[in-house]
Every structure is written in C-alpha cells, then in structure tokens.
Amino acid sequence: MDLILNADKTVFMNIYLRNKRITTEANVKYDNCSCDSMKALDEHIVNIDSLNEITCDCRYIEKVNQYQYLGVVIDSGLTWKWHVDKIQKKLYSGTTALYRIRNVMSMDGKISVYKALIESVIRNGVILYGTAADCHLSKIYGQQKRCLDTLIGNKTVRYEPIDLFKGARTLTPKSFYKYSILVSYFFEHNLRIMNNKNTSMSLRKLNRLKIPQIRNNFGERLSNYVFPTLMNGLPEHIYAENNFKKFKGLLYDWLLQVL
C-alpha cells in the first residue's frame, strides 16, 4: 500500500542562517493527480514555460516559520526561541504544584515530584534545543532555579544556586545538553577519530580526539564537532571509561561538581 501525502496536514519550512535570511518566497504545490496541467506536462503536451497559462487546481502547501514535531518546536532559524517559551509555560505550572507540596512531603518525595514535573520537561529534546543562545537558555535556568528554591529553600537559610542543584541532584539545561550528547553518541566510533598530530613542543593540553574545522555557527551544533570537543574536555578517568553504565554515572557526578 502506497503512502499518500495529505496536503491539508502538510507544511514546509525554510531553514536559513540568521545572517542569510531567505527573501524569495517559494510557492510549493501538491500534485493531486487530477490536475490537467500536470498530466499535460507528463505527456509532453506542454512545456514548463507555458505551465502557468494552464488552470491548475493543485493545493498550495502552507509555509510556516515554526512547527511542533514530537513535542519539539522547530523554527526556521533554529534559534529554539519558541520551544524555550513553551518549556517556560510548562515550568510555571510545575512551580505551582511544587509550592503546594513544599510543606507536606519529605525531601526525597519533593525531589521525586520535581524530577517528574520539572526535570523531565527540561530533558525532553534538550539534545536539540541545547544549542540555543544563552539568552534563551537562561530563561529556563531562571525558572528552574525558582522551582528548586521553592522546593528546598526556606525563609531562614539562603541557599546558593549551586547548592540547590546539588541538593536535588539535577543539572542546568546546558549541562543536560552536554550529558545527552556524550551519552547518545558514546557508541559512535566514527566520531572518535584520534588526533595523531605530532609536535616537538611541550603543550599544556593536546586534544585527544580530532575536531573538524567549521565555517559557520551551524557547524558548532553538529555532532561530529560537539562530541569530540566535549570528550576532549573530560577528566582522564571519565574519558578512558569503556563501561557505558559507569561512564554515565561518572559523567553525571562530574557535571554536578562543575556547575
């Protein structure tokens, strides 16, 4: 059975660099197989230059600047601004729930609720939106910090943000992004290209994995650049760990320490 495109439920989006915005609007039509102009073109009765002169009832595909797919809002500039705004709204409602239970549950119970309502929202799709600018990620971080302050803090003791995160054993959005990248591509051996560069100089730090050259900001978001860059920054005992389960535990504990 062949799959048939549903024009009413289909949209398209142009992806572009922020400094190279697309100015020419593209009109995309869906051939519904009943259009006389398309049949005439297929049968070589008309050429493509005279196609506009023939009446065409094919439906235009809607062009959008952002679209939600599997819970992640993708925008045409890959800024992830709209997805961050969506996360913020979910965190607001989660904060309200945490405020109601702050004095009626044990600390372990409150942390479990936090991880279910707050941390799960932040971790969903973070491997994508984690490349957003700091001005966007800081919105999530600020709301996350308020959630933890509501959960753990009190009126008599003032906690530093790092103490709140360590107390709940949770990471910032940027740290969750690093964790997701390193864990997701742990078994991708094609990204572990050893740096065999020889040098006679005594360097303070020599990259263990080769990092490809990039030409634009999009290149900094690609896995073949991000993964070796993050791996090169790991302590030796984590970098050399081959057991996946131990690697995840060591990595999470280290990210908690360097918040």
| pLDDT higher than 50, residue 215 | yes
List phi, psi (to 5°) of 157: -120, 130
List phi, psi (to 5°) of 171: -110, 165
Terminal Cα distance for the chain, rounded = 53
pLDDT band at 9 (very low <50, low <70, confident <90, very high): confident
Q: How far is CA 78 from CA 87, 161, 170, in A?
A: 16, 29, 26
242-250 long-range contacts, Cβ below 8 Å, gap at least 24? 244/186, 244/187, 247/183, 247/186, 248/183
The half-sphere exposure of 229 on its side-chain side, counting CA atoms within 13 A, is: 13
pLDDT computed for residue 203 by the predictor: 41
pLDDT computed for residue 208 by the predictor: 80
pLDDT band at 207 (very low <50, low <70, confident <90, very high): low
CB distance 68 to 122 below 8 Å: no
Residues 6 or more apart in contact with residue 209 via CB below 8 angstroms: 191, 192, 193, 194, 195, 228, 231, 232
Q: Which among 107, 5, 109, 138 is positioned nearest to 62, based on CA atoms?
A: 5
CA dist 211 and 226 (Å) reads 8
Q: What is the mean pLDDT of residues 106-115?
A: 88
Q: Which among 227, 223, 226, 228 is positioned nearest to 209, based on CA atoms?
A: 228
pLDDT digits (tens, 9 = 90+) for 150-190: 887 665 566 788 888 988 899 999 999 999 999 999 999 88
Least reliable range by pLDDT among 6-15, 179-188, 202-211 = 202-211
pLDDT computed for residue 156 by the predictor: 54
- Bridge partners (DSSP) of residue 194 are 209
The burial class, CB within 10 Å (0-12 / 13-18 / 19+), for 194 is: exposed
The C-alpha angle with vertex 162 and arms to 257 and 107, in degrees rounded to 5, equals 100
CA dist 173 and 185 (Å) reads 18
Q: What is the mean pLDDT of residues 204-217?
A: 74
CB distance 29 to 58 below 8 Å: yes
Model confidence, pTM: 0.80
pLDDT computed for residue 40 by the predictor: 55
